[in-house]
A and B are shown apart, each in its own frame.
Chain A
Amino acid sequence: MEIYGLGIIAFCMFAGTFIGNLLGELLGVKGDVGGVGIAMLFLVLISNYLEAKGKPFPEKTAKGIEFVSSLYIPIVVAMSSIQNVVAAFSGGAVAFLAGGLATIGSMLLIPLISKIGTSQESKK
């Protein structure tokens, strides 16, 4: 059933953010360290494991998961409509330069660091 797919994501989300929060407590940081990433890792591990065993998710379960991911872009659009855009534009020069230069600089670093990744791969 499709709901199994939705439930599997829910399970991964709770397990992942539980570990993320635990990690946060252990590191003395308030909140969640990488919970969503850990949850994603669980989903990757479960689905890859089942596929390797030759028993992937039933078609309807997979459909449930795909349904949620098809909602991803609409959810992002809703998210963009509730951002504090006014604050971004009225933060003045400090906010604009600090945020803007950090963004553009980080973008320009991407090819540099990706290159480290690909050169490592070719060494193997």
Chain B
Amino acid sequence: MVANIITKLFTSYGLVGAIGIVALIMFIAYSIADAIGQKRMGSAFAIIIGLILAYIAGKYTGGEKGLSDIKLFAGLGLLGGGMLRDYAIISTAYGVKLENLKKAGLVGVISLLVGVAFSFVIGAIVAVALGFKNPVDITTIGAGAVTFIVGPVTGSALGASSEVIALSIAAGVVKSVLTMIITPIIASVIGLNNPTAAMVYGGLLGTTSGVAGGLAATDPKLVPYGAMTATFYTGLGTLLVPSVGFLIIRAIFG
């Protein structure tokens, strides 16, 4: 009886339940951070707890959407989904100075072009090194190393098999999860502490969720700069990879 009522509450108040769960996760994460004297690591811990829970839930349900595949926690799909994420990302632009954007405008564009090309080439090299010979497969896996959206878009445009498309999505997800985890750790080494570097970071990494999570865990003030360039990355990738990228790969391995 009690369990039924609780289930009913969580399913009919999905979004509110999700807010409560996230508040609890953040409370635990910040308490841990406080206890070890690393207050700034609070949001990094919260993100890592989120990822661990997503892993456990994914193992348990066999689904693709982490905790939100469990009926009780379906509201997290709304709170953490694309709509509210983008809405919140846009709001962070408030307080950004136009001069800072202008200053890093050109270098932002350069980092976008270099970023897409670099990830694609690395992904393609890995595919070739591990024995893929078909230009379509190589291009699709390279596209996955760009982002987990560019991978399947490229794969379906070129007619790749569903196994290769699945691999390309997995490569993109590895990138996004890894970006969330290692950004706060590596930030001081790579000089990620000013608006220009954040714009370069967004342009080079490009995974919207990875960049969003990575910068949130590093320094929330840098979020708008990184997010701004990152949002162009997937579009640029879907534009360049299936066209120019595929032509180059085909010329080499065709």
Contact = CB atoms under 8 A, between A and B. Distances in A.
Interface string B36-69: 0000000100111111111101110000111110
Interface residues of B, number: 117
Nearest to B124: A98
B196 A9 contact: no
Given A93-B130, A94-B141, A29 B26 contact: no
B114 interface: yes
Interface stretch (B2-10, B102-110, B246-254): B102-110
Contacts of A105: 118-119, 122
B51 A113 contact: no
Nearest to B239: A29
B145 interface: yes
Contacts of B158: none
Contact of A45 (B48, B98, B132): B98
Contacts of B87: 9-10, 13, 68
A58 interface: no
Given A9-B90, A33-B235, A81-B67, A41 B122 contact: no
A102 B200 contact: no
A95 interface: yes
B contact face: mostly helix, strand, loop, or mixed: helix
A62 interface: yes
Contacts of B93: 39-41, 43-44
Interface in B93-141: 93-98, 101, 103-104, 106-107, 110-111, 114-115, 118-119, 122-123, 126-127, 130, 132, 141
A30 interface: yes
Interface string A100-124: 1111111111110110111011000
B101 A44 contact: yes
Interface in A42-95: 43-45, 47-48, 62, 65-66, 68-69, 71-95
Given A82-B66, A84-B58, A107-B190, A35 B231 contact: yes
Contacts of A114: 107, 191, 196-197, 200
A83 B19 contact: no
A34 to B, nearest CB: 4
A100 B171 CA distance: 8
B205 A98 contact: no
B153 interface: yes
A120 B46 CA distance: 38
Kindly list the 7 A-B residue pairs having the minimum CB-CB distance in the complex, ordered from nearest. Answer: A91-B170, A99-B174, A78-B80, A33-B235, A80-B50, A117-B107, A86-B58
Interface of B: 18-19, 21-23, 25-26, 29, 43, 46-55, 57-59, 64-68, 73, 76-77, 79-81, 84-98, 101, 103-104, 106-107, 110-111, 114-115, 118-119, 122-123, 126-127, 130, 132, 141-142, 144-146, 153, 166-167, 169-180, 182-183, 186, 190-192, 196-197, 200-201, 203-205, 208-210, 212-213, 216, 220, 223-224, 227-232, 235-236, 238-239
23 contacts: A20-B235, A37-B229, A41-B228, A68-B87, A68-B88, A73-B26, A74-B79, A75-B88, A77-B29, A80-B48, A82-B67, A84-B64, A86-B59, A88-B174, A91-B174, A94-B167, A95-B167, A95-B174, A102-B146, A107-B182, A107-B186, A107-B190, A114-B197
Interface of A: 9-10, 12-13, 16-17, 20, 23-24, 27, 29-37, 39-41, 43-45, 47-48, 62, 65-66, 68-69, 71-111, 113-114, 116-118, 120-121
